[in-house]
Amino acid sequence: MIPIGDVNPRRFFPLATVGLMVLNVAVFVYQLTLPPEALEAFFRNAGIVPQRLLEAPDAEGLLTLVTAMFVHGNWGHLLSNMIFLWIFGDNVEDHLGILPFLVLYLVTGVAASAAQVAVDPASAIPIVGASGALSGVAGAYLVLFPHARVRVVVPIILFVRIIEISALAFFAIWFLFQVVQGIGALGVAEGGVAWFAHLGGFVTGVVAGLLVRGGAILVRQQDYDRGPH
């Protein structure tokens, strides 16, 4: 299933979501200007190299936990991530506000990278992409809007269908797919998708969403307790 949209109205223009999309695209356009040798060096300097990060965790290495979120390997990698961000990011930002949304994005992105490094600490292959942070946004979306409708494309042999399913159903299927692919990738030396970054980011986003919902419930209860009875 490929998500192409959702049925979940927002109140405000998603300034932070659009800003993140512009920043990701700008970095990728910059990458296109680099010759192959310089591009490879850029990936190694801006991406997370688990082996290097753990052997010498200096400030430059730790900074890659953030810079790696804005680097993408190719057009497909970039476009799929930006579509995901646009579909789910705007509503989460609308609910949280600009600054809390940006904090969520960065914190879950770092947690996602930490999960991938923990699973494959000896890897010398750079980890790049916004997928971990977007998985965190997705986890928060699931908690905040479990009954929102998500439009997905479903390939059926030679045909495709567009259907609507609940966010709960969509992310249950998505999460299971990440788990299966992640287990299958264990022990594979070649580079590929950082499945455990997706899982780590998603779980962190779910926790963040639960904290937000819990805080909102507490505030409502306090308002009720102070009100007239």
Please list the active-site residues: 131, 198
As to burial, measured by CB atoms within 10 angstroms (0-12 exposed, 13-18 middle, 19+ buried), residue 88 is: buried
Give the 3-state secondary structure percentages of the chain, helix then strand then coil, rounded to 5. 70, 10, 20
Q: Which amino acid is at 123?
A: S
What does the alpha-carbon distance between residue 146 and residue 161 come to, in Å, rounded to a whole number? 23
Which tokens hold the place of 200?
A: 């780590």
End-to-end CA distance of the chain: 50
Amino acid at 26: A
Structure tokens at 171: 């992310």
Nearest partner of 142 among 105, 181, 97, 92, judged by Cα: 92
- CA-CA distance, 167 to 225, in Å (whole number)? 33
The answer to whether the CB of 46 falls within 8 A of the CB of 67 is: yes
Q: Of 112, 116, 142, give the one whose Cα is nearest residue 130.
A: 112
As given in the structure block, the two tokens for residue 22 are 């512009």
